[in-house]
Amino acid sequence: MSTLRADNIQNLDGKNKDVGSLIDKLTIVDRINFASDAEFNAAKSGLVSVDALKRTRVTSIIAGTEEVSGATNRDAMIVGRTVTGNTDCHAFADRTIMDAVTDAGTYGVFDATTKLRGNNNQNHLFAFQHRCRYEGTNALQNFAGFLSRPEHAGTGVIAKSYGADIGAIAITGGGTVTEQIGVYVRDQVGATANVGINLEQSTGYAYFASGGGMIYNKGRVGFGIQANSNYAASFAGPAVGARRGFIETTAANFQIGAEGDGVTQVISNAGTRLQIKASANGYSVTPGSDNAQTCGDASNRWSVVWAGTGTISTSDAREKTPVRGLTPAEIAAASDLAKEIGAYKFLAALAEKGDAAREHIGMTVQRAIEIMESHGLDPYGYSFICHDEWEQQTIEHPAEVVEHPAVYRVSLILDGNSAPIKELVSEAYIEVVKDAWTEVVCDAGDRYSFRESGLYAFIAAGFEARLSALESK
């Protein structure tokens, strides 16, 4: 572009014209036409001006054919147009090509270093690449780097509305990316209250990860309340005065609990299955309901039960039929059962410890069944004979998949008049990295067992009958 000067004559439309007069008619004020900055500054007010460094200034720049008026005129750059043809267009498009950069290599498409000064009660200051500076002495209500507040005023359907849509980087030239971060929030430490991400979602999901990726948080986590600095995670329900639960790990242990003096419960299938009672009940560990649950079962047994005193079993006469004496067949069976008592070792203990496996005193359930049946008795009619069966127990694990988005190659058209060419490189697809599988956590089986207190009470009745018979002679 030629420089417009008052002392330079150019041929325009085949006629000689004074370029200085052309500038005046077009209301373009060029510093080169003035003897001093003061004269130039006085002349340029409200007009298009070009200073000594060839920087053009104008009150506002409007792109497009639509007229703008009113408050819109306060904006520095305005796009006012109606698009009826091509829709692959942009209000602001940067087509810069950077080559052979010799400085630090920084570049910002939209860089705001606005300064807010004075004793203003300012509501907000927003920018895109936000490096604004507040130097005021009153108050600034909102200081934001990116603002997205779309509006739907029509009757149609918007399938999805995104505040920000961050896609994966498309690698098409063989290069590598060391790390990709969708949103990076640096340490927020300068305010009275510091928040990395504030989610004010009241319905639906405050956070939703359809890909099943891990949520990782190195610091403390709070659910329903602010995180307690004493715990790795702390949480409470919406009820007023709700107890605060916590999860904590130390170098020596892992803790799950709740603060305060109250009942702590484990819930399964909408029912309390285990509870730790409050101090008024001595912090007793109990099942959720009375006489309804077992402690262990036939397929998952406790190896040893340690207790300061013996087991207390209910023996209230109000809860039993009248106690009857044993029949002659039962007395005879009890006597024979006593003769079966001997020493044995468990096979699993032998396999683990060899000869060091310890001796146990008792008998087998199968032999007790044979003795009971030999006296015409139904062994399963007595509570001290037990036989339990269980089905195979499994966990179904779903297939593990990775979702690969479609990859596009975008080529820019350097003439600036055409839309970029978007070429599909590969279709989106789902990769199965591990097939669905079934984990067997317990094989089907069965087991015989005794209620030993009942067994030995039965045998004791046989002893008493034999002693009474001897004493009566």
Give residue limits of the domains in the chain: 108-149, 325-391+444-471, 395-441
Residue 6 has pLDDT above 80, yes or no: no
pLDDT for res 134: 92
Q: What is the pLDDT of residue 411?
A: 65
Q: For 202-213, what is each residue's pLDDT tens digit?
A: 888 888 887 777
Considering only residues 106 and 348, tell me which one the structure prediction assigns the higher pLDDT: 348
Q: What is the pLDDT of residue 16?
A: 45
Q: Is the pLDDT of residue 121 over 50?
A: yes
Tokens of 371: 């003795």
- Region 376-380: mean pLDDT is 97
Give the SS3 label for residue 269.
coil
pLDDT band at residue 26 under the 50/70/90 scheme: low
Average the pLDDT over each of 29-38, 95-104, 271-280, 455-464 and give the range with the smallest value: 95-104
The model's confidence at residue 418, banded by pLDDT at 50, 70 and 90, is low
Mean pLDDT of the chain: 86
| Cβ–Cβ < 8 Å for 463, 434 | no
Please determine, for residue 412, whether its predicted confidence score (pLDDT) is greater than 60: no
- Segment 288-310 mean pLDDT: 91
Determine what percent of the chain is predicted with pLDDT higher than 70.
92
Q: Where does the pLDDT of residue 417 fall: very low under 50, low under 70, confident under 90, or very high at 90 and above?
A: low
- Note the maximum CA span of the chain: 156
Residue 10 backbone dihedrals phi, psi, to 5 degrees: -120, 155
pLDDT score of 419: 64
| Ranges 77-81, 122-126, 344-348, 422-426: which has the least confidence | 422-426
> Predicted confidence band at 281 (pLDDT cuts at 50, 70, 90)?
very high
Is pLDDT at 240 greater than 90 in this prediction? no
Task: Reduce the secondary structure of 342-379 to three states and give it as a string.
Answer: EEECCHHHHHHHHHHCCCEEECCHHHHHHHHHHCCCCH
Choose from 39-53, 83-97, 169-183, 361-375 the range with maximum mean pLDDT: 361-375
Model confidence at 470, in pLDDT bands (50, 70, 90)? confident
E strands, 269-369, are: 271-276, 285-287, 342-344, 360-362
pLDDT of residue 15: 44
pLDDT of 231 over the 80 cut:
yes
Which one has a higher pLDDT value, 409 or 466?
Answer: 466
- Whether the CB-CB separation of 265 and 278 falls below 8 Å is answered with no
Q: What is the pLDDT of residues 122-179, one digit of tens each?
A: 888 888 888 889 999 999 998 888 888 888 988 888 888 888 888 888 888 888 889 8
- Decide if pLDDT at 233 tops 90: yes
The model's confidence at residue 420, banded by pLDDT at 50, 70 and 90, is low
Measure the CA–CA gap between 80 and 173, rounded to whole angstroms: 39
Q: In the structure encoding, which two tokens stand for residue 182, read together?
A: 């969708």
pLDDT tens figures, 56-74 = 998 888 888 888 888 888 8
The CATH number of the structural domain formed by 325-391+444-471 is 1.10.10.10
Q: Which string of b and e fits 377-394 if b means at least 16 CB within 10 Å?
A: bebeebebbeeeeeeeee
| Confidence band, pLDDT 50/70/90 cuts, at residue 3 | very low
Query: Looking at the predicted structure, is the pLDDT value of residue 245 above 80?
Result: yes
